[in-house]
Amino acid sequence: MDNRHKQLAQELDRLVDEGSDIYLAIEVLHRDQKLLEDVEKALASKEQPKKGKSPKGDLGKAGGGHAVFQRILKEKDFRASYQRWYSEALRVVEQLLPDRYDEFREHYRLAKKPKSLEVTTYTISDFIHGTLVPRENIDQGTSRSIAISRIKDQANILASARPRLHSILANIEGALEAALLDDELTAAAGLLEAKHLRSAGVVAGVVLERHLKTVAENHAVKLGRKKAQIGSLNDALKEARIFDNPRWREVQRLGDIRNLCAHDGEREPKPEEVRELIESTERIIKTVF
C-alpha cells in the first residue's frame, strides 16, 4: 500500500474511532453521576479506571487520549462534535461507499418526513433537537438508546470500507484514469480531423504508453533500469507472458507509428496510420488490463 493509501486508511480509522468516541461519550454523560466522575478523574490523571472499577463493555474502551471523547465530556454536550464528524464522514461514505450513502444519511435524518415518529422512524436529528414522543414511549432513555444505536451503525458502515479500501480506491482510480484516457483520445481524434497528424499521433502514443505502464503495475511486471516507454513496456509484458505474440506485434507497430509522429526528419505519417494508432489504442485500453 503506497503512502496515499496509508494516509486514507489512517483517516478512515480516525473517523471510525471518533464515531465510537461520540456514542460512548453520550452513554457516559447520561449514566449515573458517579460513573461520569470516575471517567473524568481517569482522563485527568491519564489513567484508565482501576481494575474492577472500570465500566463494563464499550465504556471501558473510551478515553485513553481520544480527543473527541474528552471534548464531549468537558463540554457536557455531544452535538457540535457529532455535527463536525457527520459532515466529514458523510463525504467519505459518498466517495468510498456510494451504495451505502443513503443508508448512512438516513440514520441522521430520513429523506422523507415520516407521517408519525416512532421507534423505527426516530433519527439522530430528532435526538439532537430533544424531540420526545410520549405516545410511542420514546422518552429520554429510549431516544438516547435509539441515537446511540444509529451512531454505532454509522461507525460500522465506515468501518466496513476498511477491509476493501485498496480495491475501492483502485476502482475509483481506474475509473478516473479511463475517463482521462478517453478524453485524451478524443483530443487526438480532433487533431487528426484538423490534419495535425504528428500531434494527434503523439497524444495517442502518450495514452498508449500510460496504459501499458498501468498494465505492468497491475501485474507487478518490473522494467529494471529501463525507461518506461512503449517498446520496453511491450517487451516486458511479453516476457512476463501477459502479452502473446500477436498482441506484442500489434503494440510494436503502434509504437513505430508513434515514433514516426514524434521524430522530425522521417517521412510524414499517413492519416490512416494515425487513425489506426488512435483506434487500436482505444481498443487496447478497454480490453487489456
pLDDT digits 0-9 by tens, 140-167? 899 999 999 999 999 999 999 888 777 7
CA distances from 6 to 2, 9, 36 (A): 6, 5, 36
Q: Determine the average pLDDT of the residues in 246-274.
A: 93
Residue 62 pLDDT greater than 70, yes or no: no
The pLDDT score that the predictor gives to residue 8 is 79
The residue whose grid cell reads 422512524 is: 121
The pLDDT score that the predictor gives to residue 48 is 47
Number of Cβ within 10 Å of residue 220's Cβ equals 7
**One CATH from 1.10.3470, 1.10.940, 1.20.120, 1.10.287 for 165-287:** 1.20.120
pLDDT digits 0-9 by tens, 187-226? 999 999 999 999 999 999 999 999 999 899 888 999 888 8
The residue whose grid cell reads 500531434 is: 199
Q: 206 versus 60: which is more confidently predicted?
A: 206
The pLDDT score that the predictor gives to residue 32 is 59
Strand partners, 133: 138
pLDDT digits 0-9 by tens, 181-196? 889 999 999 999 999 9
Three-class secondary structure assignment of 104-160:
HHHHHCCCCCCCCCCCCCCCHHHHHCCCCEHHHCECHHHHHHHHHHHHHHHHHHHHC
The pLDDT score that the predictor gives to residue 45 is 63
The pLDDT score that the predictor gives to residue 47 is 47
Tell me the C-alpha distance between 124 and 66, whole Å.
22
Cβ–Cβ < 8 Å for 36, 109: no
Assigned C-alpha cell, 5: 493509501
Tell me the C-alpha distance between 198 and 271, whole Å.
10
Let me know how long the chain is: 289
Cβ–Cβ < 8 Å for 158, 93: yes
Assigned C-alpha cell, 43: 482522563
The pLDDT score that the predictor gives to residue 180 is 84
CA 171 to chain centre: 9
Least confident of 45-59, 96-110, 266-280: 45-59
Assigned C-alpha cell, 162: 476498511
Residue 55 pLDDT greater than 60, yes or no: no
User: Is pTM beyond 0.75 here?
Assistant: no
Tell me the C-alpha distance between 39 and 52, whole Å.
14
Cβ–Cβ < 8 Å for 168, 96: yes
Angle at 288 between CA 284 and CA 289, to 5 degrees: 135
Assigned C-alpha cell, 260: 514516426
**Domain ranges (residues) in the chain:** 3-159, 165-287
Tell me the C-alpha distance between 287 and 27, whole Å.
54
Q: What percent of the chain clears pLDDT 70, i.e. is strictly above it?
A: 85
| Mean pLDDT over each residue of the chain, to the nearest integer | 86
Q: Which residues contact 61 (CB under 8 A, 6 or more apart)?
A: 20, 24
Least confident of 35-49, 52-66, 125-139: 52-66
